[in-house]
Amino acid sequence: MTSPARVGAIVLAAGAATRFGGGKLLADLDGRPVLQHVLDTLARMRFCQTVVVLGDDADAVERAIAWQGEARVRNPHPERGLSSSLQIGMRTLGAGLQAALIVLGDQPTLRRDVILTLLEAETAARRPVVVPRYAEGGGRNPALLGRTVWSEAGALVGDHGLGPWLAAHPELVLEVPVEGANPDIDTPADLAELAWARRVEANRAQVDRLREVPDGADFYAPTTSIFRADPARADDEVLDALLRLARPRDTWLDVGAGAGRYALPLARRVREVIAVEPSAGMRGALAEEAAAHGIANVRVIAERWPMARPPRASVALIAHVGYDIEAIGPFLEGLERAARRLCVAVLMERRTSRPCTASRASPCRRCPSSWRSCARAATSRGCSPSLRPPPATPRSRKW
């Protein structure tokens, strides 16, 4: 393996982040700026040298980052594109280095294992450029450049960095397969969805540590009784808030309807409820409760959300659903497509301080993200959610 002590890292952090609206490098992700995530990963690698090329927001970045010995240089003309920052970074690297790792400052998911894979491949490679190929997609970053191509890389111009040059010279490039994905953070929506996904992933790992037996084919089948409720109950503030939103001619879409805790009482108030529920156990409990209370205007769809062709409704509802959905963007988009008038999400206000469990064998799956996290994801998609505890009425068309 190529020793990190013989490698210099160049972090390209001078872009204007126009699509993001500016300030991307310092945007918060899990309590740290985006750029801090990148630098912390590189610091653990103990490279000989790390150079960070900054742009017009250099002063703000200098103040906000917890530096760990990185060399910082400024690109006086960041408008000339990514290649101009690459040129400055390569000129700043010291002599005697074997390779340069080119890193984008706006990719907080940079992984140590990917970097190690590149360093291991570089030792045996007959090609001077080594890049990752992610199994789940994403850009070929970071890129490891052997010293023999530094002069060519340093002569590039334009705002596309190494990409076009690598595409034009495949004979120089070794692609190394790695697991996972390399998501771009181009917009606030991208960042909000990444933040949500990271919480879901962390919660899933916690659940896996606590699990004593594997989940069954229908996770919820043994616990349907705790999701049943009297449709005529009068002591539920959340239900009261939902009923105030309901209109007699409405069709409501309840995604993850479960045993009908909200679908059935809503059906007593509106024209129709469409209940989307993938669990056979839950669908059975819903059917039993509907029959027991003489409710016949609930149409059940046995599918997972998002659906390729979702039904249309006046209002789309999720109630304590979505906490374990890693790709929250398509999930929310599906709700927005389905709803003519309003989207409603009933979620916990905050996470619990310790893992909750339905039983020792079946860890609870509902604690990774709060309603505020969902609201951030919706806001980043251009919506204007109204965040109120019940019995609030949203002010916007949707959310």
Global confidence as pTM: 0.76
- Tens digit of pLDDT for each residue in 184-237? 899 998 999 899 888 888 877 776 676 666 667 777 788 899 999 999 999 899
Identify the sign of the CA torsion 349, 354, 356, 361.
positive
- Residue 70: pLDDT over 80: yes
Residue among 183, 144, 205 nearest 7 (CA): 144
- The mean pLDDT value for 251-267 works out to 97
- Tens digit of pLDDT for each residue in 136-182? 999 999 999 999 999 998 888 877 778 889 999 999 999 999 999 99
Whole-angstrom Cα distance, residue 133 to residue 174? 10
Residue among 281, 261, 274, 272 nearest 307 (CA): 274
- Tens digit of pLDDT for each residue in 273-298? 999 999 999 999 999 999 999 999 99
Domains and CATH numbers, the chain: 4-178 (3.90.550.10), 188-380 (3.40.50.150)
C-alpha to C-alpha distances, 378 to 145, 244, 336, 375, nearest whole angstrom: 40, 23, 10, 5
- The mean pLDDT value for 357-379 works out to 47
* 377 confidence band (pLDDT: 50, 70, 90): low
Written as six digits, the tokens of 55 are 């742009």
Q: What local confidence, expressed as pLDDT, does residue 316 receive?
A: 97
